[in-house]
Amino acid sequence: MRQIRIHDTLTNAPRVLEPRDPGKVGIYACGPTVYGRIHVGNARPFVVFSLLKRFLEHEGYEVKLVVNVTDVNDKIYAAAEDRGIGSEELAREMTHGYVADTDGLALGRPDAEPKAAETIGRIVDLIRVLVDQGAAYPAGEGDVYFRVGAFSDYGKLSNRALEDMQQGEDDADRAGIKEAPQDFALWKGRKAGEDTAWPSPWGEGRPGWHIECSAMAEEILGVDFDIHGGGADLIFPHHENEIAQTEAARHKPLARIWMHNGMVRLEGEKMAKSVGNIRLLHEALAAVGRDTLIMYFVSGHYRQPLVYSEDALADARGAVERVRDFALRLDPDAPVPPEAGDYSERFYAALADDFNTPAARAALFDWITEANRRIDAGERIGVGPLHEMLRVLGLENLLDADEKPDDDAVRLLEEREDARRSRDFATADARRDELAGRGWIVRDTPAGPQLVRQR
């Protein structure tokens, strides 16, 4: 296996992937809080870690990808109240929507998709350990807080000064309840208007957000697993708090590498429901298509912000069509020149160097350029390594045969070609326009003109 390096947020440096269990890689990526339909920004980590799994499997690893669903959260209570329905009903509805929307990406499902509401026993057990060890304390009416002062390494992920680390838990209402403003909730006693609660040693209530992921990750992957991922907006407080909870309870690291993707931005701002500048995933899939959206995601390095714009989508659309056009020129029975292996090696070397999908994409298109040059010169070129390269990027379907044209479309194409041979270009253009109106594009290939379905 080649050496794979991933940028680790904790050390702020590339780190060589050295799995806890040789030959196996465990990945936990934070999934959505299901209080609304997910947007394109929410989809980026789903795509990044789904494709990372594909690459690692290509390299010979056995990979388990875990993406959780946060179905117990303050935002869900608020959204359910706004709609006048129960929080459990809203969470079920939006979980179904999340699965349907991400199924539209056609990258497969994660190996495990745990839900917070189904992990309550494990969560309570973890909180009990923290309380018993003095790292957490009961307070108020059934609440339990993590004692940040008991964990000397707090802040090592986000590198923030302690006074700058506010938890966003409406501290004004908790003045005099918490020992320190940086302490955060592990368990929240049941409050008026909340329609779900579970029993615990501290009274009925529900878990805090951060403890949910620590418990779900440990239950499935254990501690000291290989890669913990998510959006960069989760570094603080969410992932900072996960580290503190697990290390205080287990005296071992939660994960070896902390891998964070950049935000998707629309008109210069982070795409977020709270801001209102969002493009819902299912709307984007309907508008631009699955292939264009995946190509858009791999066009940028996962750690960098990605701008969602018409120009970026047009570039992705053009790249998709370029692959499809190239696929039409390939001869499945022809050999592949040995030089193709050089481009393939560049492709995988780029992915091994901090999962650099733009560099990998560049190697892919360099091979397409070289192969087209050879085909233009009369050489027959086979598929070779192209299928696996595209599979790793989630785009192997671009090599699939397109939908067969109907008899009327074939007739119009024949009439267009007859008119061109007769130099009757007006009729040829008219037939081309008729085909376009039926959703067909004429592509000229070495084997003659072919009809390709518009996308």
pLDDT tens, residue by residue, 413-449: 999 999 989 989 889 889 988 888 787 888 766 567 8
Beta partners for residue 64, in sequence order? 26
Query: Is there a contact between 51 and 13 (Cβ–Cβ < 8 Å)?
Result: no
Please give the C-alpha separations between residue 212 and each of 8, 102, 181, 304, 354, in angstroms, as whole numbers. Answer: 23, 22, 21, 28, 28
- DSSP 8-state code for residue 234: G
- CATH top-level class of 310-397: mainly alpha
Hey, how many other C-beta atoms are within 10 angstroms of the C-beta on 190?
A: 16
What pLDDT is recorded for position 174?
61
Provide the pLDDT for residue 173.
52
Domain ranges of the chain: 5-261, 310-397, 407-453
Helix (H) or strand (E) holding 368: helix 357-376
Structure tokens at 172: 């004004």
CA distances from 3 to 15, 49, 355, 390 (A): 10, 18, 12, 21
Q: What percent of the chain is predicted at pLDDT more than 90?
A: 82
Could you please report the per-residue DSSP string of 168-184? -S-GGGGTTTSSSTT-E
Mean pLDDT on 332-346: 96
Q: Which residue has the tokens 């050496």?
A: 3
The pLDDT of residue 205 is: 98
* Token pair in block for residue 188: 């929240």
Residue 230 CA to residue 30 CA, distance in Å, equals 5
pLDDT for position 435: 87
Closest CA to 451 of 397, 423, 399, 412: 412
Q: Quick one: pLDDT at residue 171?
A: 56
Tokens of 210: 């951060």
Superfamily of domain 5-261: HUPs (3.40.50.620)
Query: What confidence tens digit (pLDDT) does each residue in 79-107 have?
Result: 999 999 999 999 999 999 999 999 999 99
At residue 41's C-alpha, the angle toward residues 39 and 44, to 5°, is: 115
Is a pLDDT exceeding 90 seen at residue 258? yes
Counted residue by residue, the chain has a size of 455
User: Quick one: average pLDDT of 375-385?
Assistant: 96
Mean pLDDT within 160-165:
82
d(CA 452, CA 443): 7
**pTM of the entire predicted model:** 0.89
The whole-number pLDDT of residue 170 equals 64
Average pLDDT over residues 375-382: 97
The stretch 187-210 carries a mean pLDDT of 96
Question: 185 - beta bridge partners?
Answer: 145
Model confidence at 454: pLDDT above 70: no
Average pLDDT, integer, range 168-173: 59
pLDDT at 16 over 70: yes
Residue whose entry in the numeric block shows the structure tokens 């595209």:
390
Mean pLDDT within 204-231: 98
Q: What is the dihedral of CA 295, 299, 301, 307, to 10 degrees?
A: -100
* Sequence-distant contacts of 394-397: CB under 8 A, at least 24 apart: 394/47, 394/50, 394/51, 394/54, 394/105, 394/106, 394/107, 394/294, 394/298, 395/291, 395/294, 395/295, 395/320, 395/323, 397/106, 397/291
Please name the residue that has the structure tokens 């980026």. Answer: 44
| pLDDT, averaged across the chain | 93
- pLDDT at residue 269 greater than cutoff 70: no
Q: For residue 172, what pLDDT is reported? A: 40
pLDDT value of residue 34: 98
Assess whether pLDDT exceeds 80 at residue 398.
yes
